[in-house]
Structure 1
Amino acid sequence: MNTQNFTTTLLVDQTPEEVFNAINNVRGWWSKDIEGSTDKLNDEFIFQVKDVHYSKIKLREVIPNKQVVWFVMYNYLNFVKDKSEWTGTKVRFEISQQGNKTQLLFTHEGLVPEFECYGVCSTAWTNYVQDSLLSLITTGKGHPNLEESDTKIDIEMKN
């Protein structure tokens, strides 16, 4: 089956180690409300946006300065028919040297155009990776969801 997983790429001047550390600082770029540990193999954490989105995620692979893979153990999205579209998918961060720069290839394996949430979810991931994570890597400060506040995904749904 030829599925097109959602991907986006960053190219930065920072080292693979700096990129790796930023990825694992999930509260620094995705949401300040993350519950649980986010940086070691087999860590589990919860991402939640009010009653809109809930994900329980496990770190399946952690290869320092090379790769991080999250496995979505359970997911709930309140704005699509199949509330569990992300369940069983993987979120992959692959870090590589490209000359004197570092490339981050972000792939949400299983987030495909056939999914009802693809439009909203791919837009949200693009914002988180291309804006918030990029800013965390390059300036040391990301733009995560604030605690108990409206988020980019809420805004996308209203448009």
Structure 2
Amino acid sequence: MGDSYTATIEVAADAKRAFDAINDVSGWWGRITGSTAAVGDEFVYIVPGLHYSGFRVVDRVPESTIAWQVTGSFVDFADDKSEWTGTTVRFDIEETPGGARVVFTHEGLAPEIECYDVCSSAWRMFIVGSLKSFIETGRGAPYEFTGAEELTEAEHSELHREAAASARAV
């Protein structure tokens, strides 16, 4: 797709293990507030001072498909701070002879938007590096915040409320 970023990984694990690992967002991307357990669930991912996104699970077929719609976003370095809002993050999983193939697509993350270079590079690092490792070994390389970047539960909850309010406005 010309209007999306896509990355494909082949993993030495079955589709169930890939599906379960993708849904454990904290294990490969970073800390979240909320849930990815069912369609309709919502969660927030935050990089303090740089980026936050609120997501709603819009598709979840065990061992096959996961899709999260971005309900609210803030990208600090872009002129349009909400350019992720309304986009969708998808994972399509299929069994292969050696394990599984995961096709990651961020629908709407297009080359013409300002954050494309930075955001696609970050996705590549997390999908091709961290998620692949997490699926195969149980060890990912999620972004972790410490010191001044570390958010308290109350701060995470407040950002979750802000993203939910933004979602209602969409």
Counterpart position of 2:6: 7
- Separation in structure 1 between the aligned mates of residue 54 and residue 39 of structure 2, nearest angstrom: 15
- Separation in structure 2 between the aligned mates of residue 74 and residue 4 of structure 1, nearest angstrom: 19
- Separation in structure 2 between the aligned mates of residue 103 and residue 44 of structure 1, nearest angstrom: 26
Q: Is the 8 A contact 1:29 1:136 kept in 2?
A: yes
- Separation in structure 2 between the aligned mates of residue 51 and residue 80 of structure 1, nearest angstrom: 13
Counterpart amino acid of residue 23 in structure 1 = I
What does the per-residue CA deviation read over 1:4-37, in whole Å, with 9 as the maximum and x for residues that have no partner? 31000011120000000000000001112x1111
Shift of 1:133: 0.4
Counterpart position of 1:120: 118
Matches within 5 A, 1:1-150: 3-32=2-31, 34-148=32-146
Give unmatched runs, 5+ long, in structure 1. 151-159
Shift of 1:60: 0.4
Q: Is the 8 A contact 1:38 1:59 kept in 2?
A: yes
- Separation in structure 1 between the aligned mates of residue 25 and residue 11 of structure 2, nearest angstrom: 18
- Separation in structure 2 between the aligned mates of residue 44 and residue 73 of structure 1, nearest angstrom: 9
For these two proteins, the number of residue pairs brought into alignment is 148
- Separation in structure 1 between the aligned mates of residue 37 and residue 29 of structure 2, nearest angstrom: 14
- Separation in structure 2 between the aligned mates of residue 89 and residue 138 of structure 1, nearest angstrom: 28
Give unmatched runs, 5+ long, in structure 2. 150-170
State the SS of the aligned residue for 1:125. helix
Shift of 1:97: 1.6
Q: Per residue, is there more helix in 1 or in 2?
A: 2
- Separation in structure 2 between the aligned mates of residue 120 and residue 92 of structure 1, nearest angstrom: 19
- Separation in structure 2 between the aligned mates of residue 132 and residue 99 of structure 1, nearest angstrom: 23
Q: Is the 8 A contact 1:25 1:39 kept in 2?
A: no
The 4+ residue runs of structure 1 with deviation greater than 2 A are: 98-101, 147-150
What does the per-residue CA deviation read over 1:121-157, in whole Å, with 9 as the maximum and x for residues that have no partner? 000000000111011001101111113467xxxxxxx
Taking every aligned residue pair, what percent have the same amino acid on both sides?
Answer: 42
Q: Is the 8 A contact 1:133 1:142 kept in 2?
A: yes
State the SS of the aligned residue for 2:93. strand
State the SS of the aligned residue for 2:133. helix
Q: Is the 8 A contact 1:95 1:104 kept in 2?
A: yes
Shift of 1:39: 2.5
Counterpart amino acid of residue 140 in structure 2 = G
